[in-house]
A = this chain, B = another copy of it.
Amino acid sequence: MTQIERARYGEITSEIKEVAAQEGIQPETIRDLVARGLVVIPANKNHKKLIPRGFGRGLRTKVNANLGTSPIFPEWEKELEKLEVALSCEVDAVMDLSTAGEIRTCRRQIIARSSVPVGTVPVYEAAVRARTQYGAVVEMDADDLFQVIADHAEDGVDFITVHCGVTRQIVEKLKENPRLLGIVSRGGAIMAGWMLHRGEENPLYSQFDRLLEICRTCDVTLSLGDGLRPGCLDDATDRAQIEELIVLGELVRRARDAGIQVMVEGPGHVPLDQIEANVVLQKRLCHDAPFYVLGPLVTDIAPGYDHIAAAIGGAVAAAAGADFLCYVTPSEHLGLPTAEDVREGIIASRIAAHAADLVKKIPRAWEKDRAMAEARRDLNWEKQMELALDPQKSRKIRLDRNPVPQEVCSMCGEFCAIDIVKQYFGNK
């Protein structure tokens, strides 16, 4: 039986117990949320080192970091270094998006070393194989694609992004009525190109049951990709995006009926005032499935700082109900991230997630901010460093910018407000 089926039978699985302990929530509550599909716990039977995490309603907002090789940087060893950085930054999940070099070795190594759930986008590897074997991505066979998915399941991948909602009808309409930036999802573009070239329906949609069967073998969670997500603000919340979302809602029901856990992916590039509407729409159309958003970026003109544009959008999305944030790094739109970019991206997303958790009244979230405020009131610097999201960077700045040891800091010095208040207010 799968995780969701066991929850439906009333079982409190070891995964549910673990998540309940992490979140400070009763196991029975988590079990009921898993049974209803409002929380997912991606946990492939073959991912031995996994410490399961929950994603969804009432839980702490989670953060994912994308890793993986690319044609110019095919060395999987570099991606393992980034995995270590990601884990040290307390990431909640990683995705291996490798498209070059020893792809399977990279995936297996990441899974072997990762204590957090690992996701992949199998169509990338299928595209690489097709290019090698047939000379073109669009020559890929449906069977080839399902074989890659089966390989990923067997290797221990906890969740897979599959662009099932990019149907032939939506793509043909989009071709007739183009948007500014077409398709920016790699998986979405591959499936759309494949359909237009062959005149066939997307096999991930037409053979969705086959996908569900593969997921069942090792209990893989589906992450329904948004292949038609907007690639710029001008395309946000448009017809193509919403038509795909409607299809994803239909597939959420089918996955749940088949006993497969499912979440839904979301945009992308969205103006600040459309973000809440996007979350409300996803929750409604997709039957409250956990919502996994990429950013969203609130402007298109911040290359080099897209982690900040994404933190703004991510905080607002999560406060409105998004459950899971995919990080964006400073090198987004420019190149493959470095290990340092991975760190910057994760911390920015964690700030966004935490800001939202304060709004969501997630258990324990407020405790951290209160403890920091107390440490500041007491001018207890060691405690402040401990409580910081990134103690390492805080300590470094504190040391660099305070060459002379003192109780106050080098910004205000003897004019420290807290120090003045201490003197004249008397009570603390």
Contact residues of A with B, CB < 8 Å? 70-73, 99-100, 124, 127-128, 131, 137-138, 175, 178, 180-186, 188-190, 192-193, 196-197, 231-235, 271-273, 298-305, 307-309, 311-312, 315-316, 319, 330-338, 347-348, 351-352, 354-356, 358-359, 366, 368-370, 372-374, 376-377, 384, 387-390, 393-394, 396-398, 400-404, 406, 409-418, 420-421, 423-428
Contacting A305 at CB < 8 Å: which of B298, B299, B347, B400? B347
Residues in B neighbouring A390, C-beta threshold 8 A: 304-305
Question: When the two chains form the complex, which single residue of B70, B138, B305, B412 contacts A410, counting CB atoms closer than 8 Å?
Answer: B70
Chain B residues contacting A273 (CB-CB under 8 Å) are 319, 359
Q: Which residues of B contact A387 (CB under 8 A)?
A: 301
A337 to B272, CA, bound (A): 29
* CB-based contact A185/B397 at 8 Å: no
A370-B180, A388-B303 known; A71 vs B330 contact (CB < 8 Å)? no
The A interface is mostly helix, strand or loop, or mixed, namely: helix
- Could you write out 25 A-B pairs with CB less than 8 Å apart? A128-B415, A131-B414, A175-B426, A180-B370, A181-B418, A183-B421, A192-B424, A231-B418, A232-B373, A233-B369, A233-B373, A234-B370, A272-B316, A272-B358, A273-B319, A298-B351, A301-B368, A302-B351, A302-B389, A303-B384, A303-B388, A308-B311, A309-B351, A309-B355, A312-B351
Question: Is A413 within 8 A of B271, CB to CB?
Answer: no
- Given A182-B428, A312-B312, A417-B184, residue A409 in contact with residue B334 (CB < 8 A): yes
Known A138-B424, A299-B358, A424-B138; judge A308-B351 contact (CB<8 A): yes
A418/B182 contact (C-beta < 8 A), A305-B389, A315-B312, A373-B233 known: yes
B70 and A413 contact, CB distance less than 8 A: yes
Residue of B nearest to A73 (CB): B410
Number of copies: 2
Question: Are B301 and A183 touching (Cβ within 8 A)?
Answer: no
- Residue from B178, B308, B355, B406 within 8 A of A425 (CB atoms): B178
Q: A351-B308, A359-B272, A424-B192 are in contact. Are A180 and B373 (CB under 8 A)?
A: yes
Chain B residue nearest in CB terms to A420: B189
Question: Which chain B residue has the least Cβ–Cβ distance from A69?
Answer: B413
Closest chain B CB from A419 CB (angstroms): 8
Task: Compute how far the CA of A183 lies from the CA of B126 in the bound complex, rounded to whole angstroms.
Answer: 60
Alpha-carbon distance A336/B410, docked complex (angstroms) = 5
Tell whether, in the assembled complex, residue A394 and residue B358 are in contact, meaning their CB atoms are under 8 Å apart. no
Q: Which of B232, B235, B334 contacts A398 (CB 8 A)?
A: B334
Task: State whether B359 touches A271 (Cβ < 8 A).
Answer: yes
Given B131, B138, B190, B427, which contacts A175 in the complex, CB threshold below 8 Å?
B427
B-chain residues with CB within 8 Å of residue A234 when the two chains form the complex:
366, 369-370, 373
Task: Name the B residues within 8 Å of A406 (CB-CB).
Answer: 72
Chain B residue with the shortest CB-CB distance to A99: B415
Contact A372 B232 (CB under 8 A): yes
Q: In the complex, which residues of chain B have a beta carbon less than 8 angstroms from the beta carbon of A355?
A: 271-272, 298-299, 309, 312
Given A193-B424, A299-B354, A428-B182, do A315 and B402 touch, yes or no (CB 8 Å)? no
Other-chain residue from B180, B312, B376 in contact with A232 (beta carbon distance below 8 A):
B376
Please report the C-alpha to C-alpha distance between residue A321 and residue B182 in the assembled complex, in whole angstroms: 33
A190 to B414, CA, bound (A): 11
Q: Are A401 and B338 in contact (CB under 8 A)?
A: yes
With a cutoff of 8 Å between Cβ atoms, the chain B residues found around residue A397 in the complex are 303-304, 330-331, 334-335
Residues of B within 8 A of A186 (CB): 412, 415-417, 420
Q: Is the CB of B305 within 8 A of A421?
A: no
